[in-house]
Structure 1
Amino acid sequence: MLTIPFAPGGVVDAMGRGLAEAARPHLPGPLRLQFRPGGDGTVGIAEVLRAPPDGRTLGLAAVAILAVQPHLRRLPYRSPADCAPIIRVASLPTVLVVRHDALWSSLPALLEDARKRPGSLRLGLPGIGRISHLNVAQLLHMAGVRVTEVVFEGPKQLDGLLQGQVDLAVANQNAVLRGVRSGHLRVLAVFHTTRSPLFPEAPSVREFGYDLTLGPYHFLVAPRGTPREIIGTLHDAFHAAITAPSFVALAAEQGFTIDYQGPEELAVDLAALFEQYGRLVRMLGISDLAGTRMDTA
């Protein structure tokens, strides 16, 4: 069983279905999909992590579910150490976008203008505590810039940008693809280690000297305690899946980037991100750990 912790529809749904289809010839048994939305993905992944560690129950997790959400609320799991990573599948880099007719020709130009007019520019966000929010908050902190945050239900921040309700916005790259291709939006920067193949003309934030905590990405997990040999079998099957021509074509169509890591490297990366995002959450003061433990029944 592969659990997708979000509602059907959208890029993660397509990613999960494509991954399952490409992996089936390489798995020893059948693979079914189930959707368990809720709690920004935490409900479905908590269910996966409570399952027996026999390799029969897997989850398609986003990095925020394990590296950010435990810092924001009380959950049945506490950190990435409570899961068994299998394979990193794909990245959905965050991008900073403006309208096509915006005066800023580059990220440095925007930041310089914002520095001269503290709080004047309005930034559209798809929610508080999401990777996109943390990415841009970290950038603004490092740049010494203050803007006015306007929170939308993602991806409606892009509608707000096009309608002039905000001056700039952050979103996953797949969400802005149509607007960029139609000429209505322009990408100023990509929150990733390299430029995005979808927007090769848009620099990475690291090209401007900002070494940021980066994400988001999606990966497969199993319950903690799943035997190493089972993790190895699953890794090999899904590694074959992400290199299959059908999945490569799906990535290009849906706007996500295939981004491989094996289980050991992925575990190290998740642990580091958990610490880094924890410091950022505390700096922003957005944790709500005084609340009650979430009911995932």
Structure 2
Amino acid sequence: MRGMWRGLVGVAVASLVAVGGAAAQTYPTKPIRWILPYPPGGGTDVMGRLVAEAVAPRLGQQVIVVNQSGASGTVGSDAVRRADPDGYTLLFNASIFVLGRNVVKAAPYDPVADFTPVARIGEVPLILLASNGVTGQTIPEIVAAAKANPSGFNFGLSSLGSAGHLATLEFIRLAGTRIETIAYRGASPALTDLVAGNVQLMIDPITTLLPQAQAGRAKAVAVTAAARSPLAPDVPTTAEAGMPGLVLASWYGVWGPKGLPPAVVARVSAAMADAAKDPAFIAKLATYGIQPTYMGPAEFPGFMQADIDRSIALLRAAGFQPE
């Protein structure tokens, strides 16, 4: 009798595996929820919508963008962690995501252990903006002004642990002076205070910040890249502006819940790879200063770990403590 039950259990398990495998092979058969863990209007939102629009026809299903913001991106990210690992709830996020509890003490997940990396899809340089009331145009001139009036200078941060936050910490270290940082809930409120002169400096993706400079509401000081951005050819690099050690970019990727079937990962990553080669998609990204840098599920985890190691080193060097 015991042997018979074992046999029945074995058959049941095998049947479930077969059904799950078949479902993965036919995926997707219904719309996909594409979670963006930040409010509309920021760099992650812009890039996430562009990628969702590009992969939807390649997957043959609707990709429904859902902005689920809160707690520096952890609310939306955790919603994906808790979702069924069937490929119908996916996370689109920026490089800040991989730092987890290193920047948000209460983060309810481990970004490496609790998620399935699908693919990396693009990166964008950052840009340093100064409010119009700041004296000077080059970085040494701005640093001199900050040293002369330390209480009158603050950096606005769109989110703790973001590429902009890491670049800000590195700027302060290289400048050799203390400049206070103020964390906001997203880029939009930080930009509002920058334009109003309530904060004097901000570093974030060029996608988000450049329009303010182009409209004359703030000053573009430098891009944190080795070469000038085609989007802003008149804006110098940080090396040209007087701080050669400041080179950082924000990158974007897609993750699913832990245990996402390999066939689903392969299907979504293949759609992303195909989009990254599409001239129309590349041209759209270029209008926002974004470069398509596809990296599939085989290489993506190693890239993530290297980025985590570098970012943690920057945070520790600055004495940053997660909040």
Q: Shift of residue 98 of structure 1?
A: 2.2
CA contact (8 A) 2:124 2:206 kept: yes
SS state at 1:25 partner:
helix
- The TM-score with structure 1 as length reference comes to 0.80
Structure exhibiting the larger radius of gyration computed from Cα positions: 2
The residue aligned with 1:48 is 80
Are 1:183 and 2:216 an aligned pair?
yes
- Give TM-score, length-normalised by structure 2: 0.74
**Structure 1 counterpart of 2:22:** none
Q: Return the letter of the residue paired with 2:191.
A: L
> Helix, strand or coil: the match of 1:258?
strand
Report the residue type matching 1:284 in the other structure. G
Which one has more relative contact order, counting CA pairs under 8 Å at least 6 apart?
A: 1
The answer to whether 1:122 aligns with 2:153 is: yes
Q: Whole-Å Cα distance in 2 between the matches of residues 31 and 133 of structure 1? A: 30
| AA at the equivalent of 2:198 | Q
**Residue 128 and residue 286 in structure 1: after superposition, are their counterparts in 2 closer, same or farther (change >3 A)?**
farther
Cross-structure match for 1:231: 265
Query: Is 2:205 the partner of 1:172?
Result: yes
2:244 maps to 209
Q: Is 2:130 the partner of 1:98?
A: yes
Cα gap change, 1:147/1:211 in structure 2, threshold over 3 Å: closer, same or farther?
A: closer
- Give the paired residue count: 286
Displacement of 1:177 in angstroms is: 2.4
- 1:29-40 → structure 2 map (5 Å cutoff): 29-40=61-72
Q: Structure 2 CA distance, aligned partners of 1:184 and 1:71? A: 30
Superposed CA deviations along residues 42-74 of structure 1, whole A, max 9, x for unmatched, are: 122222223343433311012112225544223
Relative distance call for 1:168 and 1:20 in structure 2 (3 A) is closer
Which deviations, in whole Å up to 9, do the C-alpha atoms of 1:194-253 show, x marking residues without a partner?
4322222333335643155x3422211122333444322221111222343553344344
Report the counterpart of residue 107 of structure 1 in structure 2: 139
Report SS of the residue matched to 1:216: strand
Gaps of 5+ in 2: 1-31
Question: Does structure 1 residue 281 correspond to structure 2 residue 312?
Answer: no
8 A Cα contact 1:80 1:274, kept in partner: no
Q: 1:68, 1:274 within 8 Å by CA — same for their partners in 2?
A: no
Letter in 2 for 1:218: Y
Q: Deviations over 1:141-180 (max 9, x none)?
A: 1331222445555434434344333433333322332222
State the 1:112 CA deviation. 4.4
- Distance, in Å, in 2 between the alignment partners of 1:129 and 1:17 is 22
Residue of structure 2 equivalent to 1:292: none
Between 1:143-152 and 1:37-46, the stretch displaced more is 143-152
Deviations 1:101-145 (A, max 9, x none): 754232233334545x37255123135624222211112113312
Amino acid at match of 2:320: G
Deviation at 1:86, TM superposition (A): 1.9
CA RMSD of aligned residues (A): 3.1
Task: Give, in whole Å, the separation in 2 of the partners of 1:57 and 1:224.
Answer: 12
